[in-house]
């Protein structure tokens, strides 16, 4: 029987195979579109704490990215493109933050964030530092000239203003409340593209990458993996509520383009710096008066600390707020005003939010015992008063920052008077004389200098040629530097 029907079965199978093959060859390719259902297929399930599944509406959220459209719609109109042009410059400057060259005469570009409806815009210092003409392009294609209100190299922040009303603006969020792993958006103009939004998460806080040149630099960046490229400088880092939590400032890169690491100045520090620039023209920086280092394992062991955290005091400036409050060498600062300061950047950020005359509650460890000190911050002149912006700008325009010598320094250097140059700005008149930081100015055109006020008065006495006389620590012979004020 089997032999009788076998040919028929084989013939049927062969016919079916030929039919399927022919259908596959003759049928045109089809595009298959898979659409996600409007509601999750898991909505009818409920997972309890013990992992059991029951029927009913879900009481948990799926681990999917959060909604970004609201934050993007709020932030993009408030982010602008900035062109900073040096009309007379012909030299090449180097943009260290993005590892690329810029020609100031052709223009340096970046981003900015509108922070008030009457035209105040925050950006990076390095975006506008080389320019003498600043123009702003808005999301509605309007273009306007802007005025530089003030700039702070120590935090790489600057404030500019356009004369217009009723602008869209971003409100400041609380950067202290930002959590590692939280979703954030970076908004800016990378490669001069308009209003580009990228998303990522907060990778770390309190990061220092040694990218700023200023002596009193404050680097306590929010690190994210949101894509940031050249042109994003000065743009907004916002949370999913559309609040400004940082100003995008730098990327860590070997190629000059984005490689997964971007850094933003925290909004709480931005608010302080920009407020000072608006009100005084300069930042009113309060100093504790200490030299510091991070705590490592060996130091923690030697000092008898339970945790490898905190900021170790290696020296205290005589007459400073720290000295007045009784802080000493080898004390370890743990908190400032109740906020944990586990590293140098975290301490610098907290102190950087306050002004001369403010009193900080400093929690520290000494000989295994915790104590509290109330430290009154002082300015570079070791005073609690507000610094006059015009005087500081005058010295900064020449290219230097100074402070008076204290009694200990005068005795150590065997001097009766003088002010110490704390920083010299690259490319300035002072820099061109080859004068170096830590030079002590004792005379200006034969006039003795005992204070910063003396120095400014001597420089403003109307003489064109200026002759600085002074010494360096450990060098017996005096040095002379001559430059032209005009």
Residues involved in catalysis: 126, 156, 233
Contact 264, 222 (CB under 8 A): yes
Report in angstroms the alpha-carbon separations of 393 from 377, 430, 445.
22, 14, 21
Cα 176 from Cα 334, distance rounded (Å): 17
Cα 465 from Cα 276, distance rounded (Å): 33
Contact 281, 242 (CB under 8 A): no
Name the one residue in this structure whose structure tokens are 């010598």: 405
Contact 358, 322 (CB under 8 A): no
Assigned token pair, 25: 């060859």
Report in angstroms the alpha-carbon separations of 173 from 144, 177, 434.
28, 9, 44
Torsions phi, psi for 344 (to 5 deg): -60, -50
Q: Where are the alpha helices (DSSP H) in 114-170?
A: 125-128
User: Following CA atoms 163, 102, 220, 242 in sequence, which dihedral angle do they give, to the nearest 10 degrees?
Assistant: 50
**Three-state SS for 402?**
strand
**Three-state SS for 277?**
helix
**Three-state SS for 6?**
helix
Contact 417, 449 (CB under 8 A): yes
Cα 382 from Cα 285, distance rounded (Å): 11
Contacts of the segment 127-131: beta carbons below 8 A, 24+ positions apart: 127/82, 127/84, 127/158, 127/233, 127/234, 128/82, 128/84, 128/158, 128/160, 129/84, 129/153, 129/158, 130/84, 130/86, 130/89, 130/93, 130/102, 130/104, 131/84, 131/85, 131/86, 131/104, 131/107
HSE (side-chain half, CA atoms, 13 Å) at 314:
7
Torsions phi, psi for 109 (to 5 deg): -120, 155
What DSSP character marks residue 172?
B
Cα 121 from Cα 275, distance rounded (Å): 12
5 conformational bin, left if phi > 0, alpha if psi -120 to 50, beta if neither: alpha
**Rounded to 5 degrees, what angle do the CA atoms 202, 309, 368 make?**
155
């Amino acid at each position: 029987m089997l032999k009788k029907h076998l040919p028929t079965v084989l013939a049927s199978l062969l016919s079916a195979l030929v039919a399927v093959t022919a259908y596959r060859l003759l049928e045109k390719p089809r595009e298959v579109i898979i659409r996600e259902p409007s509601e999750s297929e898991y909505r009818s399930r409920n997972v309890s704490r013990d992992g059991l599944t029951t029927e009913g509406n879900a009481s948990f959220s799926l681990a999917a990215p959060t909604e970004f459209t609201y934050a993007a719609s709020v932030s993009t109109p408030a982010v602008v493109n900035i062109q900073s042009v040096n009309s007379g410059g012909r030299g090449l400057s180097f943009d260290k933050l993005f590892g690329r060259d810029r020609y100031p005469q052709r223009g340096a570009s970046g981003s900015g964030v509108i922070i008030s409806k009457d035209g105040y815009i925050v950006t990076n210092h390095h975006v506008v530092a080389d320019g003498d003409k600043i123009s702003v392009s808005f999301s509605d294609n309007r273009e306007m000239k802007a005025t530089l209100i003030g700039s702070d190299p120590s935090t790489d922040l600057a404030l500019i203003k356009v004369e217009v009303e009723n602008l869209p603006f971003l409100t400041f969020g609380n950067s202290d409340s930002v959590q590692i792993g939280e979703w954030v958006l970076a908004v800016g103009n990378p490669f001069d593209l308009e209003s580009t939004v990228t998303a990522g998460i907060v990778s770390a806080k309190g990061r220092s990458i040694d990218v700023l040149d200023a002596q009193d630099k404050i680097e306590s960046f929010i690190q994210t993996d949101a894509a940031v490229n050249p042109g994003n400088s000065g743009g907004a880092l916002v949370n999913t509520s559309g609040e400004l939590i940082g100003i995008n400032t730098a990327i860590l890169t070997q190629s000059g383009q984005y490689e997964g690491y971007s850094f933003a100045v925290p909004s709480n520090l931005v608010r302080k710096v920009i407020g000072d620039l608006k009100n005084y023209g300069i930042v009113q920086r309060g100093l504790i008066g200490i030299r510091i280092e991070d705590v490592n394992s060996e130091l923690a062991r030697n000092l008898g600390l339970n945790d490898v955290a905190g900021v170790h005091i290696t020296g205290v400036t005589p007459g400073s707020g720290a000295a007045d409050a009784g802080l000493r060498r080898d004390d370890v600062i743990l908190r400032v005003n109740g906020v944990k300061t586990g590293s140098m950047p975290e301490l610098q950020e907290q102190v950087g939010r306050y002004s001369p005359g403010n009193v900080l509650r400093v929690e520290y460890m000494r000989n295994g015992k915790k104590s509290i000190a109330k430290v009154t911050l002082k300015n570079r002149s070791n005073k609690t008063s507000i610094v006059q912006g015009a005087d500081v700008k005058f010295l900064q325009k020449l290219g230097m920052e100074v402070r008076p010598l204290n009694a200990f320094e005068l005795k150590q250097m065997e001097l009766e008077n003088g002010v110490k140059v704390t920083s010299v700005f690259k490319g300035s008149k002072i820099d061109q004389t080859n004068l170096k930081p830590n030079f002590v100015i004792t005379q200006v055109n034969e006039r003795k200098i005992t204070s910063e006020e003396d120095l400014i008065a001597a420089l403003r006495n109307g003489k064109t040629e200026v002759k600085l006389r002074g010494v360096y620590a450990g060098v017996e012979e005096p040095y002379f530097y001559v430059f032209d004020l005009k």
